[in-house]
Amino acid sequence: MGADGLARLTIDPLVDTMIDTLYWQLGTDPYLSTPQSRFTDIYSHRTEVAPIWGAQDKTFTTSGNWRIYENTRQLMEQGTDPPTVIIERGKKAGLEVFLSMRVNDIHDGVINVDYPQFLSPTKISHPEWLLGPTDNPLYDERLTGLSRYAYNFAIKEVRDYKLAIATEAIEKYDLDGLDWDFCRSLRFFTKGESEKNADLMTELVGNLRRALDAKAARIGRPLLLSVRVPPTFDLAMPFGLDVKSWIEEGLIDILVAGVAHCSSFRVPVEGFVEATQNTSTKVIAQNLGLAWPGRPQSASVIWNEPRLYTDEMCRASASTYWRAGVDGIYLWNNQLIPFAHSLAYSRQPWKELADPEGMSRRNKHYLVDYPWQLEVLKNELGSYTAYPGPLPVNLGSPCDQITVRVDISDDLEVAANASILDEVILRVLIVHLTSQDYVEIFINDQLVDMQTADKHILYNDCWLEFKMKDGFIKQGWNDVRVAVKERNPHVSAPLILYSVEVLVKYLE
């Protein structure tokens, strides 16, 4: 492929977008090219500290694995390597380029124990550095002990190893900053030991800060430190991440309010925004990512939705974060969308999400979060690894009710007065809802007229759409309450409130 090919695939798609900073990951994760496993702690850059991809292999299990090795080998023979190419070409394109590291990636947890050769050579050489099996395995036996190959950061040699990889890259490359991604993945200590070891992780972050500052002093320009962590202090601390201290001690420049293992539509970034006021730390919110495996098939059938977040969803999510006071938007796993879905992907969110004013009069699709596989992950890790959204929820019998909140960035009153607002639609999915069930829906304590619902039914899914009257939905947080009054006596399955959505449409 060569330097030109790497730049064409990586840098060219960012030209003529609003993306101003590229995070380039150190470490090779072959994704779809490796059907039998995922690799971690194996690298494709010039390093004398960590194992290099393919250095010990004579043959490769897949053509994709071989291409990673061959492309990297050719670049090195040309006197360069992927990070060098990305930094040089990225800067020519007007981008800042950060090198990024997954702090404790656990993708190799899916490796079959019969094939240990797919593990990082460092992990094979130092099994005593690993966390090992957990006492609460995942439900899926194939993934038992998903984080069993993760590093134990209570061990000094582990911290020294990770720091050595980072400091080597800081010294070797003309980077603009370093990013440490703690969300990939959130296990650093043995169960029950995380919070008491938080000082160890703070010390490690401080060492990164000092390494960046030392080089910055020599080259005469600042080098920034970015971290991606769970989106609240209370979610981060149980993993040994004392983010509040990192801010107070001036250790970090960029704080990415992230989500592990998935995307969330709207996490509560307000705590980070408030804590960083009058500091130099910038708060970046993670926007919607690669795919949405939990989206009901009925949504695709009825509205022809793609199997990923739509432009309107990305726009709505970003707009709420801008209104909450963030300093930027982080596009997570978006680089894989063309290769995982369609090479014809428009990249429209890349072209508009940094312009909150421009998005203010464009269509949006707001969602309420739900927690994906959090219950499964909680079993192993002992704590949630992402912001736990409220949906779905069972409403099994009369008197059951639930209130969820949806954040709206649009000033609907101003838009209506300016005669540019087309319609506002409340869309609710209640699984197993029938004509013999009686439910009530309230928005901000105002009863919605159920007789006006436009129903869409596909098998067990029953979608209700309501055209909202002026004043029902407001800018900011809105309470949506669903209450069960009567149940169909012929259906034993509980009602499931699966999705609550608001669509805002403007006149063209």
pLDDT by position in tens, the chain (length 508): 688 989 999 999 999 999 999 999 998 777 766 655 667 899 999 999 999 988 877 788 788 888 888 988 899 888 899 999 999 999 999 999 999 999 998 888 776 655 566 788 999 899 899 988 765 443 333 444 677 889 999 999 999 999 999 999 999 999 999 999 999 888 899 888 999 999 999 999 999 999 999 999 999 999 999 999 999 998 899 899 999 999 999 999 999 999 876 788 998 999 999 999 999 999 999 999 877 767 889 999 999 988 889 999 999 999 999 999 999 999 988 888 888 888 888 999 999 999 999 999 999 999 998 654 344 344 444 444 445 678 889 998 899 999 999 999 999 999 999 999 999 999 999 999 999 999 999 999 999 999 999 999 999 999 999 999 888 999 999 999 999 999 999 999 999 999 999 999 999 8
So what's the pLDDT on residue 386?
A: 47
Q: Are 188 and 103 a contacting pair, CB within 8 Å?
A: yes
How many Cβ atoms sit within 10 Å of the Cβ of residue 136? 12
pTM greater than 0.75: yes
Q: Are 243 and 233 a contacting pair, CB within 8 Å?
A: yes
Question: Where do you find CATH 3.20.20 in the chain?
Answer: 15-41+90-361
Residue of 274, 348, 284 whose CA lies nearest to 322: 284
CATH class for the region spanning 15-41+90-361: alpha beta
So what's the pLDDT on residue 377?
A: 41
Q: Which helix (H) or strand (E) holds 456?
A: strand 454-458
The domain 393-506 is classified under which CATH number: 2.60.120.1200, 3.60.130.10, 1.20.140.10, 1.10.10.10?
2.60.120.1200
Question: H-type helices in 360-438, by residue range?
Answer: 374-381, 412-417
C-alpha span between 13 and 6 (Å, rounded)? 11
The neighbouring-strand residues paired with 256 are 228, 284
Q: What is the token pair recorded at 445?
A: 């304590």
Question: Where do you find CATH 2.60.120.1200 in the chain?
Answer: 393-506
C-alpha span between 124 and 130 (Å, rounded)? 10
Which amino acid belongs to residue 229?
A: V
So what's the pLDDT on residue 114?
A: 52
418 CB-near residues (< 8 Å, 6+ apart) = none
Output helix, strand, coil percentages for the chain, rounded to the nearest 5: 35, 20, 45
Q: Are 368 and 406 a contacting pair, CB within 8 Å?
A: yes
Cis omega (within 30 of 0) for bond into 392: yes
C-alpha span between 487 and 52 (Å, rounded)? 61
Residue of 413, 429, 451, 441 whose CA lies nearest to 495: 429
Cis omega (within 30 of 0) for bond into 147: no
| Buried/exposed code over 398-436 (b: 16+ C-beta within 10 A; e: otherwise) | eebbbebebbbbbbbeebeeeeebeebbbbbbbbbbeee
Pairing of strands 364-367, 393-395: unpaired
How many Cβ atoms sit within 10 Å of the Cβ of residue 346? 11
C-alpha span between 380 and 136 (Å, rounded)? 5
How many Cβ atoms sit within 10 Å of the Cβ of residue 324? 19
Q: Are 374 and 482 a contacting pair, CB within 8 Å?
A: no
* Cα separation values, 38 from 33, 65, 203, 312, Å: 9, 11, 30, 32
